[in-house]
C-alpha cells in the first residue's frame, strides 16, 4: 500500500520534472545542473574557497568530502544563495541560473537540508511541513498533496502530529529531508544528511537518497567516506579551500587500484633486495614493515616483482596486493593542506 503510494508519487514527480527539464535545458543549454567555475569566498582576510570549479550533471549524486572547516558548508550555502560568492569570484549556476542574479528562482529549484536541521520546536511535524510548503509558494491543494507525499516517503506519517521539539535527532533529520523535498526540487543540496543517525536510519536515508537521484540531482556532503563511496556517482574532495580531486565512481575505483600497495614477504631477503625493488620502473616507494616489503607504485608492478624474484632466486612466501581505501586516499589528498 505504502509502496504503491510512493511509486505513484514518484511517477507524478517524474512527470512534472519532465516539463521543468525542458525549461531548464532551454535556460542552461546543457546537462549540468550545478556549475561552479572559479568560485572564491573569503571571510575577512581568510580565504575559505579559492577558485574551486566542478560540475554536477543532471540526475547524478555528487559527494562532497572534506575535513571540518574545509569549506563544504560555505560552498553549499553559496549554492543555496544564502551566502554570496566574493565579488571577484567566477560563476556559480544552479539549473542554469546564476545564484547571485537569480537568487529567488534558484531557491525555488533547490531543496536544502542544512547540517544541523533547524526547526521550530513549537510546531507539529505536519504543521511545520504545511508552513514550509506555503512558504515555498505551493497552492492549497498542492500543499496537502505534497505534505502527504513527503510524510509518506520519509516515513513520518506516524509522528505527523507530534511536536518537533520532542522528536529524536533521527526524526528531525527526516523532517529536514521531507522539507527539502516538498517543492519537488530539481536540485537537492544535503549537508551531512546522515550525521547523528543510527545505522538503521542511515540505511533508510541512503535508500531515500538513492531513489531521489531518479528524479533530482543530489549534491551531498559527508564525513563518512564509505557512505559517499556507496551512494555517489561523483566524488569531489575539498581541502584547504581548493578542489583536491574530482572523479566519477569508476575513476575512484581506478585511482584506488593505482594507489594500492603490494606486500612482499621473502624467505631470508638479501641486503640489496630493497634497493633492487626500488629500481623497478613504476615503483615510487619501498618500505619495510615487520619483515615485509610494502611497495608503492604508480602502475601494476606484480609481474616485474615476480620476474625480479625469479632472476635473483628469492623465495617468495607471499605476494599480496593491499588495495587503497578511500579513507587512506582521502587523507593523502588532504594531508598537505592548511586547514581552512
Partner 1 sequence: MIGSVSTIVRRELLSLFVSPIAYIVLFCFMLVNGATFRFYVGLYGGEMEPVLVSTFGGPAFWFLWLLIPPLITMRTFSEERRSGTFELLVTSGVSDAALVAGKFLAAWVFLGLLWAGVLPLLLLAEAYGQLDWGVVASTYCGLALSSALLAAIGVLASSLTQNQLIAAVLATVVNLGIVLSNQLRALFPPSAIELRFFEYVSPPYHFARDFSQGIVDLSTIVLYASVTVLALFATVKVLERRRWA
**Of 110 and 340, which has the nearer Cβ to partner 1?**
110
Residue 95: exposed, middle, or buried by beta-carbon count in 10 A (0-12, 13-18, 19+)? buried
Phi/psi of residue 235, nearest 5 degrees: -125, 130
Min. distance of Cβ 205 from partner 1 in angstroms?
A: 19
Min. distance of Cβ 340 from partner 1 in angstroms?
A: 17
User: Which stretch of DSSP H or E encloses residue 135?
Assistant: helix 125-135
Min. distance of Cβ 44 from partner 1 in angstroms?
A: 10
**Chain centre distance of CA 239:** 14
**Of 28 and 123, which has the nearer Cβ to partner 1?**
123
Q: What is the dihedral of CA 326, 327, 331, 332, to 10 degrees?
A: -40
**Of 123 and 319, which has the nearer Cβ to partner 1?**
123
Min. distance of Cβ 201 from partner 1 in angstroms?
A: 21
Contacts 24+ apart (CB under 8 A), 94-99: 94/33, 94/34, 94/35, 94/187, 95/24, 95/27, 95/28, 95/33, 95/186, 95/187, 96/24, 96/25, 96/27, 96/28, 96/29, 96/30, 96/35, 97/27, 97/28
**Of 132 and 244, which has the nearer Cβ to partner 1?**
132
Structural contact between residues 75 and 246, judged by C-beta atoms closer than 8 angstroms: no
Residues that bind partner 1 (CB under 8 A): 77, 80-84, 103-104, 107-108, 110, 112, 114, 116, 118-120, 122-123, 131-132, 134-137, 179
**Of 46 and 200, which has the nearer Cβ to partner 1?**
46
Contacts for 261 with CB less than 8 Å, ≥ 6 apart: 294, 295, 296, 321, 322, 324
Structural contact between residues 110 and 136, judged by C-beta atoms closer than 8 angstroms: no
**Of 137 and 323, which has the nearer Cβ to partner 1?**
137
Min. distance of Cβ 5 from partner 1 in angstroms?
A: 25
**Of 140 and 270, which has the nearer Cβ to partner 1?**
140
Strands (E), 241-314: 242-248, 261-267, 283-289, 292-297
- DSSP, res 163: B
Min. distance of Cβ 93 from partner 1 in angstroms?
A: 16
Min. distance of Cβ 36 from partner 1 in angstroms?
A: 17
Please state, in angstroms and rounded to a whole number, the distance separating the CA atoms of residues 237 and 308: 37
Min. distance of Cβ 181 from partner 1 in angstroms?
A: 13
**Of 135 and 310, which has the nearer Cβ to partner 1?**
135
Amino acid at each position: 500500500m505504502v509502496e504503491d503510494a510512493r511509486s505513484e508519487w514518484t511517477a507524478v514527480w517524474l512527470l512534472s520534472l519532465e516539463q521543468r527539464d525542458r525549461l531548464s535545458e532551454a535556460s542552461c543549454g546543457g546537462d549540468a545542473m550545478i556549475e561552479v567555475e572559479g568560485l572564491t569566498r573569503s571571510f575577512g582576510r581568510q580565504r575559505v574557497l579559492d577558485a574551486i570549479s566542478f560540475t554536477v550533471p543532471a540526475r547524478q549524486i555528487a559527494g562532497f568530502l572534506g575535513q571540518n572547516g574545509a569549506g563544504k558548508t560555505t560552498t553549499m550555502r553559496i549554492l543555496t544563495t544564502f551566502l554570496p560568492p566574493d565579488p571577484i569570484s567566477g560563476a556559480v549556476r544552479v539549473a542554469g541560473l546564476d545564484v547571485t542574479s537569480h537568487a529567488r528562482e534558484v531557491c525555488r529549484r533547490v531543496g536544502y537540508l542544512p547540517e544541523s536541521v533547524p526547526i521550530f520546536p513549537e510546531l507539529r511535524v505536519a504543521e511545520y511541513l504545511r508552513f514550509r510548503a506555503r512558504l515555498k509558494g505551493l497552492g492549497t491543494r498542492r500543499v496537502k498533496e505534497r505534505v502527504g507525499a513527503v510524510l509518506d516517503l520519509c516515513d513520518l506519517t506516524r509522528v505527523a502530529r507530534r511536536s518537533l521539539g520532542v522528536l529524536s535527532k533521527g526524526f528531525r533529520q527526516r523532517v529536514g529531508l521531507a522539507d527539502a523535498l516538498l517543492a519537488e526540487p530539481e536540485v537537492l543540496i544535503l549537508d551531512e544528511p546522515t550525521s547523528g543517525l543510527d545505522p538503521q536510519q542511515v540505511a533508510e536515508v541512503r535508500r531515500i537518497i538513492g531513489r531521489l537521484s531518479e528524479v533530482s540531482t543530489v549534491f551531498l556532503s559527508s564525513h563518512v567516506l564509505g557512505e559517499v563511496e556507496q551512494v555517489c556517482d561523483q566524488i569531489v574532495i575539498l581541502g584547504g579551500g581548493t578542489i583536491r580531486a574530482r572523479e566519477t565512481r569508476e575513476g575512484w575505483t581506478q585511482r584506488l587500484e593505482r594507489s594500492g600497495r603490494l606486500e612482499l614477504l621473502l624467505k631470508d631477503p638479501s641486503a640489496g633486495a630493497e634497493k633492487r625493488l626500488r629500481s623497478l620502473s613504476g615503483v615510487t616507494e619501498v618500505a619495510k614493515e615487520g619483515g615485509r616489503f610494502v611497495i608503492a607504485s604508480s602502475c601494476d608492478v606484480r609481474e616485474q616483482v615476480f620476474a625480479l624474484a625469479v632472476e635473483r632466486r628469492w623465495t617468495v612466501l607471499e605476494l599480496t596486493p593491499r588495495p587503497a581505501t578511500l579513507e587512506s586516499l582521502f587523507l593523502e589528498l588532504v594531508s598537505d593542506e592548511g586547514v581552512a
